[in-house]
Structure formats: structure tokens, C-alpha cells
Amino acid sequence: MARAAGVSQAAVSLVLGGKWHGRVSPGKAEAVRAAARELDYRPNPAARSLRLGRTRTALLVVPALTNEFFARLHSGAARVAAEHGFGVVLYPSPEGTGPARDPFGSASDALDGVIASSMASGALAALRPGGGLPLVMLDSDPEHTRASATVNLDIADGMRQTTAHLLGLGHRGLAHIAAAVDSWTFGVRARTLAGALRAAGCPAPAVLPAELSVAGGMRAAMAALAARPRPTALVCDDDLLAAGACKAARRLGLRVPEDVSVTGFDDLTLARAVEPELTTVRLPAEEAGAAGMRALLAVLDSRTGGAVLDSRTGGAVLDSRTGGGGPEGAGGPGRTVTLPVELTVRGSTGPPPEAPVRPGER
Amino acid sequence: MARAAGVSQAAVSLVLGGKWHGRVSPGKAEAVRAAARELDYRPNPAARSLRLGRTRTALLVVPALTNEFFARLHSGAARVAAEHGFGVVLYPSPEGTGPARDPFGSASDALDGVIASSMASGALAALRPGGGLPLVMLDSDPEHTRASATVNLDIADGMRQTTAHLLGLGHRGLAHIAAAVDSWTFGVRARTLAGALRAAGCPAPAVLPAELSVAGGMRAAMAALAARPRPTALVCDDDLLAAGACKAARRLGLRVPEDVSVTGFDDLTLARAVEPELTTVRLPAEEAGAAGMRALLAVLDSRTGGAVLDSRTGGAVLDSRTGGGGPEGAGGPGRTVTLPVELTVRGSTGPPPEAPVRPGER
DNA sequence: CTGAAAGCGCTTACAG
DNA sequence: CTGAAAGCGCTTACAG
């Protein structure tokens, strides 16, 4: 551009790249900037990528973007990426929670790194980015060693809060409407619920596997509520399942929460649309996406000696983190960050029938 | 790659590009393919883009991906894109339905084309892709001349079906819970509803603007239901608003549909999660996204003399279209395609109180 | 049919 | 401080 527009040739690169001090005279630099402004010049990213060997592009692998949780996750990741001149490409996964098959076989862009969230257990092996691409795992088993960093939500604590809330209300007979998805995040929910009940001296929960949808939750809850003695609370792995559980109760002539309490997970828009509104664990999805992207950028930065972040932001990645990520921030290579979650109590839970809260028990 | 792996140099390009017949001997061609398989070779897309001047990347501009409608739209567009070796990048728009400010100022990839959906009226002017990038509009004013093609949903027909359904049940006093978003799609809904009621000799509907959310719908519906005579049906621009309207009714001690009927638009997951389930217009969002991408690919193809599609699929774009796009298919340059929509009747509508359906009136 | 070369637009050493 | 050049990995004319 500047060849025609003003002054020299590749001084443009130096000036626009911000590394001209002591290499280009101030007058020339200003001329370059003026010309760039004038022509609305933008460096060709393909040429840039070819030269640099980096693409400023991250792949985000999620089970399904039509799930609001993952849409929020994407939103947070894309925001942070954009702040640093990065793009996000989504693995075009088919509908459903199936794992990605071969994200790297598609004609996608070349990638600088990968962020994968909530993958099914078996899908980890399939994640084989060639050439040692940095991989950040979200909502996944921190023991997975392939990951440069892991950003998790405190799923276990969310389930503990849920259980404590129900036990505090006086419930003893719980059923678990469990997502029929073989992933770490749902495994934690099941184990934590079972463990908390055991610790409280309650009977083990009935476990009803459910397809991850409103209809699936309804079917599983119908079965759960047919058992005798009937459970007084249904702990659902997800708000969709919880909405379905509420429908099942109503269909059976039971009132929520008077006859049966229902809890969810996620705090989707849906949680406040249904009646009664759902008691659910709010998961900071957008923050998780943002933290995941920050962690990836940090890994990239450390591998290139600061080239990733400095070129645009002066390396402020770790300063702009969303609070709550623990004292160490969004996580450097190999680290695991766990974001706190919080139970939001709404109308779908109450004391069990014929068993009012005993004073002193919370 | 093949330099080290097997035979010649740029014969690789010919062979892998599928244009080697009569230019490379069959033996060599096979050797190249074997080597490529062996090394899991993939051409560097940056180099390819630099050379070709095309990036096989489309920008999808939507108000907010956390809205399920747009997530589905994206899903359809991404699927078709992937089938043709294209990528989709999303404009990283902030939450909310605000228009995109400057999709092209970001450090995004270079683009081959743009698909924009449901933009606010004022946002059209801001859509200024440099260099005459092809633009496909979705769910937008077909009069907008900047677009190479337009893919619409038959919003007007959906509203007519809704109105006919309610009038058929005996309703005469309708209120319109209208999304407070200045876009073509919501303008059509308002005009069509008003027109249909006028044509039927009914009073004009009260129009209550509402923020596009459950809470917004609830607030507007509370106001609508405070009017006297009270409307017997609330026509909502969106399922979120409809869910809010149901909550408002319940809060006022009114039953849905016995005391007041409620209709929505979109057929989101939410529509079947609430109780009663929503009567709503199902919008084929994924098909619209797919048709939009097909239209864009067709434009690109015509501009490059077939290079876009032939290289991978033999130009089968227009053959693989989802049915229902009208006799002309997904649309060539400058054309408008309108996808049909269908009212889905569920539990949130019924006869008005004290006005049973008169026999013969549908 | 085969091979050597040009050139897409950048960035970064490398001589002046 | 300035300028001319190399080279990232492709694709496509262009001579043999």
C-alpha cells in the first residue's frame, strides 16, 4: 500500500506493527499512519499468517452451540479473543452432544490452539491436533494430561449446595435425574450427590438416566415418581431435565414444590421462564469461556516469548481477568482454575410434604 | 511436502486440486495421493488464500448467538459451509440485539462474503464491507438493494395463521406484545396483525412494546391485562415474550388458556418447556441459515466462474437445498427466497371465556 | 506430460 | 535510520 501511498516500502510493517522506534524516523512513521488511515488499509491476514506461521485463530470445540450454556461459553471466549485480535472458529459439530469426530480434518483454518469443553470421555482421544497445538480443556477432567490448562466450574460444590439445600428443607428421599451423557461433568454430579447423601446418612438416590432434553427429563421423572416410597425431591443434572421433571409432576397431579421439589443446573433462560421458576445452580459460562481463552493466549504467549499479547495489548491478558478465578488468575500452562458457582433458590423447591423443616436444621 | 515424500514439486497441487487429468501421469498422481495420505498432508490455507485471493470464509452477523434462533441459524449455515470447505466466522457482537458496529474493523480473517440476519434497520448502513463483498440478507427487508440475495421466513404468513387461529376460536379483543426492536421482521409482524384484524372487522390491537426477554414480556403483559375490556388473547412477537405473558397471567390469577390465550413465535425449546406449552409459529431457522449460505456460495460461484463449488462438490449446491424454498431454490444473485412457516397449536390457546366457538366458524 | 519460475502480501534479518 | 531482498507455501501460467 504505502508504496503508492507515501514513503518507503516495508517501513509500513514496522510502523503498523508498533516496532519502529529507533528504526523509522518519526516523520515517516506519521506519514505511514496517515496513509493507512486514508486508505483504510488493513494488512492481509493470509500473508501475515503465511509469513509468521501463526494465524491468530483458536478452535472452540463444543458439543452443540444451540445449547445456551455453550452459546454463552462461546460468547465469553469470542469476546476475549477479539480483544486480542484473535478469531474463534467453531468446530461444526452436528446437533447433539456427541463428541467431535475429526475437527482437524475439515478444511478449517490453520489453528494456533484449541479449546474444548465438556467433551465426552471417549472424545479426548480423538482430539489429536497435529504438531502439538496447545489445548485448553473446559469443564473437563483436570487429570487429563494432554491439556496445557484446564478451566473448570466448581460442579461438585454446586451439587453439594443443592444437596445441602434439600436436606435442610427436610428431604431425605431424593432421586437423581441424570443426563445420559458420558462426560466428566455429569460423572462429578452423580458422584457428589451420592457422596453427600451417604455422608448425611440418607438412602442412596435412585438414578434415572435421561436423554438431555425436556422430553427426556419428563420421561425419567415419570419413572422416578412412580417409585414407592415416592421421592420428595428430584435432583436434575440440567435445567432442561428439570423443566421436564416439573412437567412430569404436573402430569401426575403433583404440585411443585408442595408435593415434590425439583432442582436444576445451569440457570438457563428457561429456568426463569417456567412456573414455578427453577432452583438451580448458576454456572458462569461466559466467564469460563473467557478464562479459557485467556489461558490459551497465555500459553501461546509463553511459547512465542510474548509475541502474541504484546503486539496488541501490552500483555495485559492476565490483568483483565474476570474475578473469582482463584488467586492465580486464569491459569498458566498446566494449571487448573476452578470458577465458583452458586445455588440460586427459587420456587421449585420447598419442604417435603408432611415433613416441615425442623427448627435448628438450617 | 511431496518434494521430500515422493515425486515432483507442484504436481502435488494439480493432483490434490483434482485438475491433473492430461497434465500428470496416472502413476505419479497415485504416488502423490499415497504420500499425502501417509504424511496426513494438508495444504496450508494461508498460502492458498494468499495465492488465490479468496479465503473460503464467510462472516455471519447476528444480533446474539445466545438466542436459540440465531444459534440454529448458525448451525445450518455452518453445516452447508463445511460441506463446501468453507468456514464461518461470527461477528463477535456484544450481548443483546444491538446492530453490529464495525464487523470489518476487527482483526478478523479476510472474508469472501457476508451473511447478515435480522439486523436493526439502522444497522444496514453500517454494513459496509469494503471491496464489494457479496452480502446475503436473512430475515430482512427484501427491498434493501445492497444484498446479492435475500432469504426470508414467511413471517407475514405466520402472523396471518396465528390471527386466523385466534379469530377462529372466537377471540376479538387481541393485544400485541411487541418486541421493542426496530427491525424489519418485527415491523412485519405488527403490520400484518393490525391488517388482519382490520380485515376481519375487529378492533385494532393494543400494542405493548416489550424488551425482548421473559421479564420484558411479563411486564408488557401485565399492562395489557390491566386494560378494560381485558384482551382475551395476547399475541407475542417471540416465545420469550409469550413465556413472560403466561407468567403475567398467572400472577394476575388468570388461567391460560381458559381466561386468556397466548401465542408466540419461533418455537424455541422453551415453547415446550413451559406449562401449558405454547401455541407458536415454528420458524425454520436452520434451513434459513443453510439457504443463506447456499445463496452466498452461488453468488461466489457465479463471480468466479464455478471455482468455488466445483473444486469440491461439482456444483451441487443448488441441488442439495432443503425443500420448501420455492420453485427457484435457494436463490441466485439478487433474488429473494421465502421459506414457509407453520403455526403449531398447543395448549396456550383456546376459546375466549364466555364465548365458545360458534359452530361453523372453523 | 514434466520441470523450473513467478508472485500473492507480508515480516524480518541484512547490508548500507 | 533506510532500502533492497529473502522467503513463508501455495497455484498457475510458461517453456521444454
Q: How many CB atoms lie within 10 A of CB A239?
A: 29
What's the CA A352/C1' D14 distance, rounded, in angstroms? Answer: 85
d(C-alpha B361, C-alpha B170), whole Å: 8
Backbone angles phi, psi at A361, to 5 degrees: -95, 60
Q: Where in chain A is the domain with CATH 3.40.50.2300?
A: 54-150+285-331, 155-283
Sign of the CA dihedral B308, B313, B318, B321? Answer: negative
In angstroms, the CA of B8 and the C1' of C13 are apart by 31
Q: Residue B98's pLDDT band (boundaries 50, 70, 90)?
A: very low
Pairing of strands A135-138, A113-117: parallel
- Candidate from A89, A95, A273 with C-beta closest to B274: A273
- For residue range B167-223, list pLDDT tens digits in order: 999 999 999 999 999 999 999 999 999 999 999 999 999 999 999 999 999 999 999
User: What are the residues facing A135 on neighbouring strands?
Assistant: A114
CA triple A12-A18-A23, angle to 5 deg: 65
Cα B163 from Cα B235, distance rounded (Å): 8
Looking at the complex, report in whole angstroms how far the Cα of residue A133 sits from the nearest Cα belonging to chain B.
15
Chain B residues near residue A44 by CB distance under 8 angstroms: 50, 110
List of chain A residues whose C-beta atoms are within 8 Å of the C-beta of residue B213? 269
Identify residue A27 by its one-letter amino acid code. Answer: G
Provide, in whole angstroms, the distance separating residue B319's CA from nucleotide C2's C1': 38
How far is residue A34's CA from residue A5's CA, in Å, rounded to a whole number? 9
Q: Is A37 an 8 Å CB contact of chain B? A: no
User: B273 vs A89: CB contact, 8 Å cut-off?
Assistant: no
A68 contacts B68? CB cut-off 8 A: yes
Please name the member of B45, B109, B214 whose beta carbon is closest to the beta carbon of A87. Answer: B109
Residue entry with cell 408435593: A259
A273 vs B: CB within 8 A: yes
Nearest Cβ partner of B110 from A45, A82, A110? A45
Give, in Å, how far the C1' of C13 lies from the CA of B247.
68
Between the CA of A289 and the C1' of D8, what is the distance in angstroms?
32
Q: Cβ of B333 under 8 Å from any chain A Cβ?
A: no
Task: Collect the ranges in chain A with pLDDT lower than 50.
Answer: 95-107, 311-333, 356, 360-362
* Domain at B54-152+285-337: CATH architecture: 3-Layer(aba) Sandwich (3.40)
Q: Where in chain B is the domain with CATH 3.40.50.2300?
A: 54-152+285-337, 155-283
For domain B155-283, the CATH architecture is 3-Layer(aba) Sandwich (3.40)
> Does the beta carbon of A311 lie under 8 angstroms from any beta carbon of chain B?
no
Residues ≥6 apart with Cβ < 8 Å to A309? A84, A297, A301, A315, A316, A317
Nearest to A72 among B66, B90, B244 (CB): B66
Looking at residue A309, what is its pLDDT?
67
Residues of A in contact with B87 (CB under 8 A): 89, 107-109
C-alpha to C-alpha distance for B190 and B177, rounded to whole angstroms = 9
Nearest 10 degrees: Cα torsion A174, A175, A181, A187:
30
Q: How far is B226 from chain A (nearest CA, A)?
A: 21
Q: Which residue is nearest to nucleotide D2 (CA to C1')?
A: A24
Residue B297: its pLDDT value, please?
Answer: 94
Residues in contact with strand D, defined as Cβ under 7 Å from any of its atoms: A 7-11, 21-26, 28, 47, 50-51, 53; B 1, 10, 12-14, 16-17, 19, 41-44, 47-48, 50-52, 307
Mean pLDDT computed over B141-162: 91
Q: Which residues of B234-251 are buried (b: 16+ CB within 10 A; e: fewer)?
A: bbbbbbbbbbbbbbbbee
Residue A334 has a pLDDT of 65
Q: Which nucleotide is nearest to B311 (CA to C1')?
A: D11
Q: Measured between beta carbons, which residues in chain B are less than 8 angstroms from residue A269?
A: 213-214, 240, 270
Residue entry with cell 469443564: A139
- Mean pLDDT of the region B105-128: 71
pLDDT band at B258 (very low <50, low <70, confident <90, very high): very high
Q: Which of B71, B285, B63 has its CA nearest to residue A74? A: B71
- Residue B126 confidence (pLDDT): 62
Task: Give the CA-to-C1' distance from A7 to D1 in angstroms.
Answer: 14
pLDDT at residue B238, rounded to an integer: 97
A-chain residues near B46 (CB < 8 A): 46-47, 49-50, 55, 110
The set of cell numbers assigned to B143 is: 427491498
Average pLDDT of chain B to the nearest whole number: 83
Q: What is the mean pLDDT of residues B30-51?
A: 84
pLDDT number for residue B245: 98
Quickly give A91 CA vs C1 C1' distance in Å: 41
Would you call B40 an interface residue with chain A, using a CB distance cutoff of 8 Å?
yes
Q: Are A89 and A106 in contact (CB under 8 A)?
A: no
Q: Report whether A36 contacts A16 (CB < 8 A).
A: yes
* pLDDT in the model for residue B326: 37
Short-list A166, A193, A225, A198, CA closest to A357 = A166
Q: What is the pLDDT of residue B151?
A: 96
All three cell numbers of A274: 417456567
**Total residues belonging to chain B:** 362
Question: pLDDT at position A310, please?
Answer: 52
Give the count of Cβ contacts less than 8 A between chain A and B: 134
Residues of B in contact with A82 (CB under 8 A): 92, 106-107
Nearest-by-CA chain A residue for B247: A275
Q: Is B45's CB less than 7 Å from nucleic acid strand C? A: no
Of chain B, the percentage scoring pLDDT greater than 90 comes to 54
Q: Tell me the fold of A54-150+285-331.
A: Rossmann fold (3.40.50)
Cell of B317: 449446491
The predicted pLDDT at position B329 comes to: 40
Q: Determine the distance between A25 (CA) and D7 (C1') in angstroms.
A: 27
At residue A173, the pLDDT reads 96
Q: Which of A58, A20, A70, A12 is nearest to A37 (CA)?
A: A12
Of the candidates B268, B265, B255, B266, the residue with the CA atom closest to the CA atom of residue B348: B255
Name the residues in A298-327 having a C-beta closer than 7 Å to nucleic acid strand C.
307
- Most confident among B29-38, B52-61, B280-289 (mean pLDDT): B280-289
Q: Which residues of B80-109 are buried (b: 16+ CB within 10 A; e: fewer)?
A: bbbbbbbbbbbbbbeeebebbeebbebbbb
What pLDDT is stored for residue B119 in this prediction?
81
| Dihedral sign of CA atoms B273, B274, B276, B279 in order | negative
Closest CA to B214 of B256, B175, B262, B248: B248
Q: Pull the grid cell for residue A272.
A: 426463569
User: Which of A78, A106, A246 has its CB closest to that of B90?
Assistant: A78
Q: Does B16 touch chain A (CB under 8 A)?
A: no
Alpha helix segments (H runs only) across chain A: 2-5, 11-17, 26-39, 45-52, 68-83, 123-126, 155-169, 184-199, 214-226, 239-251, 269-273, 285-304, 307-313
> Does the distance separating the beta carbons of A71 and B81 come in below 8 Å?
no
* Residue B1 touches partner A, C-beta closer than 8 Å: no
pLDDT in the model for residue B333: 45
**Chain B within 8 Å of A197 (Cβ-Cβ)?**
no
User: Of chain B residues 74-133, which have a CB less than 8 A from chain A?
Assistant: 74-75, 78-79, 81-82, 85-90, 92, 94-95, 106-110, 130
| CA pair distance A150, A142, nearest whole angstrom | 6
Please report, for residues A339, A352, B76, B297, the alpha-carbon distance to residue B79 in angstroms, rounded to integers and kept in the order given. Answer: 33, 47, 5, 13
| Cross-strand pairs, A181 | none
- Distance CA(A173)–CA(A35), nearest Å, equals 73
Q: Does B308 touch chain A (CB under 8 A)?
A: no
Q: Do A275 and B68 touch (CB under 8 A)?
A: no
Query: Is A273's CB within 8 Å of B71's CB?
Result: no
How many Cβ atoms sit within 10 Å of the Cβ of residue B252?
14
Instruction: Tell me what the mean pLDDT of segment B242-256 comes to.
Output: 98
Interface contact flag, B109 A109, Cβ < 8 Å: yes
Cell numbers for B259, please give them: 381466561
**Inter-chain residue contact A109 with B244, CB threshold 8 Å:** no
Contact (CB, 8 A) for A115 and A84:
no
A39 touches strand C (CB under 7 A): no
A160 touches chain B (CB under 8 A): no
- State the pLDDT confidence band at B75, using cuts at 50, 70 and 90: very high
Contact (Cβ atoms closer than 8 angstroms) between residue A106 and residue B95:
no
